[in-house]
Amino acid sequence: AQKITQTQPGMFVQEKEAVTLDCTYDTSDPSYGLFWYKQPSSGEMIFLIYQGSYDQQNATEGRYSLNFQKARKSANLVISASQLGDSAMYFCAMIPGGYNKLIFGAGTRLAVHP
Amino acid sequence: DAGVIQSPRHEVTEMGQEVTLRCKPISGHDYLFWYRQTMMRGLELLIYFNNNVPIDDSGMPEDRFSAKMPNASFSTLKIQPSEPRDSAVYFCASSPFRGPDTQYFGPGTRLTVL
């Protein structure tokens, strides 16, 4: 079964601290893509970062990095130096190889405290 | 570059009425997706198109839902007749390539059926 699991319904972090949002995935396809999206209270879905299953290095985009552990089937998002504007829902998602369908996790609500 | 454009942003209608949601994908993107987000079911794919042709509509909940893409720059999702359980946020997304490639989301249409 193709599935994304986010076990943290809510997280909070102090401003300027780093935070890790957990994501595990399940697929039997050797080729797949992993994504993180941010959904602020305004409702839009903002693409943050992408990791391909064959990528040798962990993806990074500014303050976002993806800690990809293939053997453990985990794709955790690390946000460094949290800002108040990082408060939002964060969704981990996967596209299994050969498909175009994004499979989403349930999301983690992050609150950044001053 | 303009992102994915959706209209209307908010729609309130009464049960039994026809609802039409509109989407303009990013220019040059060959794939267009319609997703629905609810509290109970999270984000789920309804249908997607490749080069204006519907490829997978297995997520369309029932015959009351229909989607069209008459040209590369326009798609509609129609609900007729609408029911209160159709209340949700409907997202349109587009992607340039097949497979695990990034999908860029529009701002969404928040639909309320009374």
Q: Give the residue on A whose Cα is nearest the Cα of B94.
A: A100
Please give the pLDDT value at position B65. Answer: 97
Please tell me if residue A47 touches chain B, with a CB cutoff of 8 Å.
yes
Q: In the predicted model, is pLDDT for residue B100 greater than 70?
A: no
Question: A1 pLDDT band (50/70/90 cuts)?
Answer: confident
Nearest to B45 among A44, A91, A102 (CB): A102
Write down the residue that tokens 């985009």 correspond to: A61
Closest CA to B56 of B77, B72, B32: B32
Mean pLDDT of B95-101: 75
Q: Write the pLDDT tens digit of every residue in A48-79.
A: 999 999 998 999 999 999 999 999 999 999 99
What is the spatial distance between Cα A38 and Cα B113, in angstroms, rounded to a whole number? Answer: 27
Mean pLDDT of B1-17: 94
Distance of residue A95 Cα from the nearest chain B Cα, in angstroms: 5
Neighbours of B43 (CB within 10 A): 23
What is the spatial distance between Cα B41 and Cα A55, in angstroms, rounded to a whole number? Answer: 31
Q: Write the pLDDT tens digit of every residue in B33-68.
A: 999 999 999 999 999 999 999 999 999 988 999 999
Q: Give the residue on A whose Cα is nearest the Cα of B96.
A: A100
Please give the pLDDT value at position A35. Answer: 95
Closest CA to B92 of B12, B11, B31, B19: B31
What is the spatial distance between Cα A87 and Cα A1, in angstroms, rounded to a whole number? Answer: 31
Task: Mutate one of B4, B30, B105 to test the A interface: name it (highest A CB count within 10 A).
Answer: B105
Task: Mutate one of A4, A44, A48 to test the B interface: name it (highest B CB count within 10 A).
Answer: A44
Does residue A73 come out as left (phi exceeding 0), alpha (psi in the -120 to 50 range) or beta?
left
